[in-house]
């Protein structure tokens, strides 16, 4: 296993573990590495300090669980909380968002809270048809690594 410090195009820094350097490269080229904070798929390795440890010391502090990908500031924390609330309280419909939203609006399927992905032209068409939609300030979570 190898740990990389990563940085997305939005400037968020986070760490992630990969099976190997080759595994990271394959996932990255395939677009399967995304920001742990905003979901942006434009991620690069950041400069890392080498992890050098002394002989095992029982007095050293253990790393807190989940500390590697914690939001760095209040704005990132608010965005993480919004993401959690959206994902916990709505159904992810993926690229079927436009058709699902339209079917609910037309009464073809029961109304429910949904989130997903739509091409810009699909979203514009939904708005022109009077279907209430709003963009989310993050990409959907994907199982990436």
**Confidence at residue 18, expressed as pLDDT on a 0 to 100 scale:** 87
Is 102 a residue whose pLDDT tops 80? yes
Is 138 a residue whose pLDDT tops 90? no
Q: b/e map of 37-72 (b: 16 or more CB within 10 Å)?
A: bbbbeebeeeeeeeeeeeeeeeeeeeeeeeeeeebe
Write out the two tokens for 134: 């709003």
Closest by alpha carbon to 27, among 135, 144, 126? 144
**Confidence at residue 60, expressed as pLDDT on a 0 to 100 scale:** 55
Render pLDDT for 53-68 as a digit per residue (tens, 0 to 9): 666 555 555 556 555 5
Rounded to an integer, what distance in angstroms lies between the CA atom of residue 33 and that of residue 110? 35
Rounded to an integer, what distance in angstroms lies between the CA atom of residue 31 and that of residue 40? 10
pTM score: 0.51
**Confidence at residue 145, expressed as pLDDT on a 0 to 100 scale:** 47
Asked if 5 contacts 46 with a C-beta cutoff of 8 angstroms, the reply is yes
Mean pLDDT calculated for residue range 10-29: 87
Task: Residue 83: count other Cβ atoms within 10 Å of its Cβ.
Answer: 20
Q: What is the mean pLDDT of the chain?
A: 83
Which range, 25-39, 46-60, 94-108, 126-140, is most confident? Answer: 94-108
51 pLDDT tier (thresholds 50, 70, 90)? low
Could you give the strand order of the β-sheet that contains 2-8, starting from the edge strand earlier in sequence?
A: 13-18, 2-8, 43-45
**Confidence at residue 142, expressed as pLDDT on a 0 to 100 scale:** 60
């Amino acid at each position: 296993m190898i740990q990389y410090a990563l940085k997305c195009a939005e400037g968020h820094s986070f760490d992630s573990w990969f099976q190997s350097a080759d595994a990271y490269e394959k996932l990255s080229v395939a677009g399967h590495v995304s920001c742990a904070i905003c979901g942006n798929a434009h991620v690069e390795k950041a400069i890392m300090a080498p992890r050098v440890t002394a002989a095992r010391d029982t007095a050293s502090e253990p790393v807190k669980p989940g500390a590697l990908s914690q939001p760095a500031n209040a704005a990132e924390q608010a965005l993480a909380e919004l993401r959690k609330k959206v994902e916990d309280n709505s159904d992810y419909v993926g690229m079927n968002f436009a058709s699902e939203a339209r079917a609910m609006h037309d009464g073809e399927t029961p109304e429910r809270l949904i989130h997903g992905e739509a091409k810009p032209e699909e979203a514009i068409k939904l708005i022109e048809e009077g279907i209430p939609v709003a963009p989310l300030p993050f990409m959907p979570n994907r199982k990436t690594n």
